[in-house]
Structure 1
Amino acid sequence: MWTLPPDLARDLAPESRKLLTDLPNRVVPKGQVLFRAGDLAQGFVIVLSGRIEVRLTAASGREILLYAVEPGESCVQTTLGLMGDEPYSGEAMTASEVELVLIPRPIFARLLDSDPGFRAFVLRAFGQRMAELTQLLERVAFGRVEVRLAEALLDLAEGELVQATQAELAARIGSAREVVSRRLEAFARQGWVSVERGHVRLHDPEEIRRLAAQAM
């Protein structure tokens, strides 16, 4: 038996709580695709630990990281698929080992209809996700690339090291790899970073932090 997230458990009816906690949890290794564009949602995922990343890929091959799903968060594409019968438009992959529970579609529909607490949880999580996607759209449409890149470097840094390729950084900020490469070269000329194969080393995180603060 697994433990419900507090935000979900708070308002659930006792019978709904038992129905959910009786569902099996499973561990999915890093790098596994959970759904692809065109797939239909099979159920609602609750993440207990780890991180899932949802990306959108254009016909040109360019990617953008739409959002990540971590414990206590939901996948807006799955919610749309279950509530509106819409196929997935993006792809979800585990960015780390993930422990999760899948609420099958019939149980999800039943709880959505019968339990106001469950319905409130789903709609609240959906609203938060839509707000985050709107913020992403604003940053991509109106934010400067170098500011978004500085934010991404700080978010991903473990100490002074960012374990990410230029293509991964480009997907994260909604830009092209070539653009990220030019911006990193500019950062390197100023002594802020050095670029090595598969990662970026931060030499002056304070300057990068000052640049990232311009997004606020």
Structure 2
Amino acid sequence: MKNEDWTELFDGTRALPRDVRDRLLKSAHLVTAKEGKSIFSPDHIPDKLLFLINGVIRVSQTSENGREIVLYRVEAGQSCVLTTACILAEEAYNAEGVAETDIKAISLPRSEFDRLVAEMPAFRKFVFSAYSRRLIDLLRVVDDVAFGHIDVRLAERLIALCGGGNDIAVTHQKLAVELGTAREVISRQLVEFQKRGWLELSRGKITLNDKASLRKLSNN
């Protein structure tokens, strides 16, 4: 990215004075990671903040009994708010971040992050606005897991995953992780949907036959 000004790509850096942006171009550096690589893990204290240029990072938490739940995803144009929180609180991670696709990001040293938060109101606003939005998202996750009906949540997830097609390459275990429940619960509900004629199950794939019914259920 020698000739590319990455500070133009992010709301939190685009509004900074030119001299500050030039300083960031010198202090930050480009990092890449392949799909499946761990970006951060529990008990690790962050020393940098990543600004994601391309790809997706999945942030999840695993309970003592081994059950995993996806908290959120970091996508292009975003930074990880859990990293932000850990840097501000000087605490270690309590979740894991994994590259869900190949990623490309800008790594900003913690010292530079601290300086920006202290000196630049525009950057402070970016950090805390993103933090607030993600907190609301996480509260929705908690609400869904604690009080949501699994059939409604599963229908909603299937519709989201299918995009414009009908085939979804996904395992029951992955859906269970996404929805914060057990694989057996997902399997039972998928079989029920299949009995209704809404979908067809095969190894590693789900084919949606009646998206209208699934969408109607997801809107309940």
Q: Same fold (TM over 0.5)?
A: yes
Kept in 1: contact 2:10–2:78 (CA 8 A): no
Cα deviations by residue, 1:129-155 (Å, 9 ceiling, x for unpaired): 111111111111111101111111111
What is residue 152 of structure 2 aligned with on the other side?
147
Kept in 2: contact 1:192–1:204 (CA 8 A): yes
Shift of 1:178: 0.8
Shift of 1:3: 2.5
Q: Where in structure 2 are the equivalents of 1:132-171 lying within 5 Å? A: 132-158=137-163, 159-171=165-177
Cα deviations by residue, 1:1-56 (Å, 9 ceiling, x for unpaired): 34233522343122221122332223221111101111111211111111110010
Tell me the distance in 2 between the aligned counterparts of 1:21 and 1:8.
14
Q: Please state if 1:79 is matched with 2:90.
A: no
What is residue 193 of structure 2 aligned with on the other side?
187
Kept in 2: contact 1:74–1:126 (CA 8 A): no
Residue identity (%): 34
Q: Where in structure 2 are the equivalents of 1:88-103 lying within 5 Å? A: 88-103=93-108
* SS of equivalent residue, structure 1 residue 102: strand
What is residue 19 of structure 1 aligned with on the other side?
23
Kept in 1: contact 2:29–2:108 (CA 8 A): no
Q: Where in structure 2 are the equivalents of 1:25-40 lying within 5 Å? A: 25-40=30-45
TM-score computed with the length of structure 1 as normaliser: 0.94
Partner letter of residue 182 of structure 2? A
Tell me the distance in 2 between the aligned counterparts of 1:111 and 1:199.
46
Kept in 2: contact 1:47–1:100 (CA 8 A): yes
What is residue 177 of structure 1 aligned with on the other side?
183
Q: Structure 2: where are the runs of 5+ without partners? A: none
Aligned mate of 2:205, from 169, 185, 199? 199
* SS of equivalent residue, structure 1 residue 56: strand
CA RMSD of superposed structures (Å): 1.4
Q: Structure 1: where are the runs of 5+ without partners? A: none
TM-score computed with the length of structure 2 as normaliser: 0.92
Tell me the distance in 1 between the aligned counterparts of 2:133 and 2:25.
24
* SS of equivalent residue, structure 2 residue 42: coil
Partner letter of residue 148 of structure 1? R
| Count of matched residue pairs | 214
Tell me the distance in 1 between the aligned counterparts of 2:144 and 2:13.
34
